[in-house]
Structure 1
Amino acid sequence: MNCDFDKVIDKYYPAGSRRRDIYMKHCRQVADKALAIARRKGLALDDDDIIAGAMLHDIGIALTDAPGIDCHGTLPYLCHGTAGADLLRREGVDERFARIAERHTGAGITADEVAASGLPLAVRDYLPETLLERLICYADKFYSKSGDMEEKPLERVIASMKKFTPATLQRFNALHEEFSQSPGERIVRPALASQLPESCDAATFFNL
């Protein structure tokens, strides 16, 4: 299904702005990786859907207070997924892409994790469920919107997952098993901790 994602991006990411440059580079990186995975694995997904999902997954960052990436909204950065989903729904974008935005954060977030951590989200599950949602969520973990913006090695991705809950790492491991070239290679099993850390660098963990 075709999606006029350029029109939505243009509305919230003005041409010539640093915010747009960062956004477009990051989303294109995610799109390229997701397309490469889909083709290598022979996934039954449409290329246009993969591209649209990748290009819109972070649309909500424009509404957050993240001056380091030229976003000067009012919401906490952790709300960018749900804010982006709401934005896409208001813009009349297909619900499939709103769900990608809503569920790509970390390796997904459960209602229990929201409640335990006090994250500024409604207490419910935000887990990638469809094949397209899982693919974009996985590809996104390898790129940041700050720093050198180069692809992260798997070890760095795993390290960021380990900072959160054991279940987060388990969910990432499952995504890696599904989408990596060599399933099982370099997978790290979660430690025995069961609680969120009292302090967590959320911007780093959630791929700012």
Structure 2
Amino acid sequence: MKPLNKEKGFTLIELLIGIAISGMVISAIYSLYISQNKSYTIQNQVVEMQQNARIAMDMMVRDIRLAGYDPEGTSGAGFVAATSNSIQFTADLNGDGDTDDSNENITYSLYDSDGDGDQDLCRDTGQGNRSLVENISSLTFEYYDENGSAIATPVSTANLSQIRKVKVKLIAQTAKPDPDYSRNSGYRQRTLTSMVIIRNLQ
């Protein structure tokens, strides 16, 4: 019989080196996973922020365009209050000669509806503030007359009927800060601006 070949095992140093290399590989893989997961989370927040900003702006522009709609000429529809950070207006949407029905008296403003410290865009139709989208850090309005001249805010009662254009600007932000983003306390932001022509009051 031929004697069995002697097999030589790993030395302690070889084992330690192998463990160290394995640890480095695992650490690199874990770091890559954390980085990719963080990037994915941030990207999702940015997409959600952009969607919220667009939804908020589209809804406000659509509603503000209806300000002063008065097919019967008897409702007195128009602007009720106009400040730099809130707006209230009426429209006789169903043409019954008044603005007492649902969605005919609308106010837009920012409000912390959840008490969590984050501002929400709220729409009030007489039933209290209803949150439309969250994490809107700024909402501003500017008003212009038929000559394109700015009207000082808050707009006086006498000048409410002079409003012909409304410039809306909102800034949306991500729900959570990014520690690696140095601006805006770590919150990524998106700014949208729109000029609304009030055709019903032309």
**TM, length-normalised to structure 1:** 0.26
The structure with more helix, counted as a fraction of residues: 1
Greater strand proportion: 2
Larger Rg: 2
Q: TM-score scaled to structure 2, two decimals?
A: 0.26
